[in-house]
Amino acid sequence: MTRLTDEKLEKGRMRFLAGFPNVKARIDALDQAEADALGITLEHLRESETMRELCEVARLKNVDSTELFWSCIADTSAELEEMLERRDAAEKRAIGL
C-alpha cells in the first residue's frame, strides 16, 4: 500500500459522500460562521464532519470505520484487499507475531 496522499483522502471522502446524499447535504450546509466559531477553516470543518459521519455510518452498519473509509479510497477490490493485508501484517509485527 502506498502512502495515503491528500488526494486519496479527498477521493475517499468524496466517494463516501456520494454514497450518502443526506450526509453530503449536511456537510454542504456547514458555513463559514460555524468554522469561525471553532477557529478552523471551513474545509477542515467539512473534512472533520465527513469523517465523523463516516464513523457513525460504520457504527450503525457494525463495520470497521477504517475498512469503510479504505473501501472508498480503493479503486478495486484487489487494492482494498492489499491495503487490509498490509495493515494486518503491520499489526502482527507491532505485537511481535
Is residue 86 assigned to a domain? yes
Is residue 1 assigned to a domain? no
The model's pLDDT over 14-42, given as tens digits with 9 standing for 90+, comes to 999 999 999 999 999 999 999 999 999 99
Give me the domain span that covers residue 52.
6-95
Say yes or no to pLDDT of 44 above 80: yes
The model's pLDDT over 54-63, given as tens digits with 9 standing for 90+, comes to 999 999 999 9
Give the residue ranges of DSSP H helices in 1-97: 6-19, 21-29, 32-38, 42-61, 65-73, 77-94
